[in-house]
Amino acid sequence: NTASLQARTDVPAETRDGTRIAVYGNIEFPDEAEHCRTRGADGIGLYRTEFLYLGATRERSEEDHFEAYSKVIRNFPNQPVVIRTLDLGADKVPGALQEVFRDITNPELGLRSIRVSLEYLGLFRTQLRAILRAATEGDVRIMFPLISSLAELRQAKMVLADVLEDLEEQGIPFRRDVPVGMMVEVPSVALLAEEFAREVDFFSVGTNDLIQYVLAADRSDPSVAKYYNAADPAILLLLRRIFAAGAKVGIPVSVCGQMASDPKFVPLLIGMGLRQLSVTPQSIPTIKEMIRNMTLAEAEDIANRASSMELARDVEFFLRGELRRFL
Ligand code: PEP
Ligand code: MG
């Protein structure tokens, strides 16, 4: 029950046969960092910084960014805090920036996310400066969203290198060795995962977008909800491919999309090789408890059986049935 779960929040998520799984929290606002900490998160795996702009009526200054990041880091001074650069556009358009996005015919395939940052470099540089400065206070990592080509990744890294140089020249305190990772949420990246893995320090899989782009089903359109399915065999195949690429190249991989917060997918993901999850704050205690109740062998068996199925609905039915064993 909830009370006993709460009492066990400090116990790490380790499978019965001794495999440690990191369970991080996803946040949208700095206040949520504390909720993650009290629920036993191992750090922040996804800080959606664009929420700093949503509902804002004025420009955000470097100090606004810096303060927000510092607040999050103060909750996790010795644990990873993954700050994702702005993921504006598509489902996240702030009032103040409406003009920029007005004439986009297909917002999900248009100017959004890292593409906005690379188009509006001032915005991007301001954010990167604040992250690098705040990083002196903790174990901060930078993550680029919606990367779709190696050229784009290199361009984003170049801007970062440039900002680093500026701070250096200006004699402003900052952290130089901040790990740089990227979201895997565009099919082109999943297909070439090994090539991308060689150029970043970590991957985080954004299943919300990956599913929408692989299955051509808008993630927020209820009329195509039946086409949007995390249990689709094509999704499982791509996830295995991404996890394998991370393992081969030697970089950590996490999943921060909603799929990782859904208990029925947790044994599957771990069985396919995942060792880090980033989930909604409310689901942290339950997911940690589930992990403590399973063995790696059980999870691998579930993953193997699910991967042999042809239909998403069979995978789903099967995973729902297996869930009982761990809750
Ligand atoms: C995702 O796409 O899965 C993700 C975590 O990012 P967002 O939901 O913010 O697009
Ligand atoms: Mg996304």
Q: What is the pLDDT of residues 151-179, one digit of tens each?
A: 999 999 999 999 999 999 999 999 999 99
pLDDT at residue 93, rounded to an integer: 87
Q: What distance lies between CA 214 and its chain's CA centroid?
A: 18
The DSSP result for 84-99, as a single string, is EPP--BTTB--GGGHH
Across residues 39-50, what is the average pLDDT? 98
pLDDT at residue 301, rounded to an integer: 98
Mutation choice for ligand 1 from 48, 93, 109, 203, CB with most ligand atoms inside 8 A: 48
- Note the ligand closest to the C-alpha atom of 146: 2
Percent of the chain topping pLDDT 70: 98
Determine which one of 189, 190, 236, 256 is catalytic: 256
pLDDT at residue 74, rounded to an integer: 98
Q: Which atom of ligand 1 is nearest to the CA of 145?
A: 6
Q: Binning pLDDT at 50, 70 and 90, where does residue 310 land?
A: very high
Q: Binning pLDDT at 50, 70 and 90, where does residue 255 land?
A: very high
Q: What is the pLDDT of residues 81-138, one digit of tens each?
A: 999 999 999 888 888 778 888 888 899 999 999 999 999 999 999 999 999 999 999 9
pLDDT at residue 2, rounded to an integer: 67
The Cα–Cα gap between 307 and 327 comes to 22
pLDDT at residue 1, rounded to an integer: 64
> What ipTM was predicted for this assembly?
0.99
CB of 210 within 8 A of CB of 171?
Answer: no
Q: Binning pLDDT at 50, 70 and 90, where does residue 8 land?
A: confident
pLDDT at residue 171, rounded to an integer: 98
Ligand 2 midpoint to CA 64 (Å): 23
Adjacent-strand bridge partners of 144 = 182
Residues with CB under 6 A from ligand 1: 46, 48, 87, 185, 206-209, 256-257
For residue 23, give the H/E element and its range. strand 22-27
For residue 233, give the H/E element and its range. helix 233-249
16 marked as binding residue: no
Collapsing DSSP to helix, strand or coil, 189 comes out as: helix
CB of 286 within 8 A of CB of 234?
Answer: no
Regarding predicted confidence, which is higher, 254 or 59?
A: 254
Average pLDDT, the chain: 96
Whether 69 shows a pLDDT value over 80: the answer reads yes
pLDDT at residue 326, rounded to an integer: 96
Burial label for 30, CB within 10 Å (0-12, 13-18, 19+), is buried
The Cα–Cα gap between 265 and 283 comes to 13
Q: Binning pLDDT at 50, 70 and 90, where does residue 222 land?
A: very high
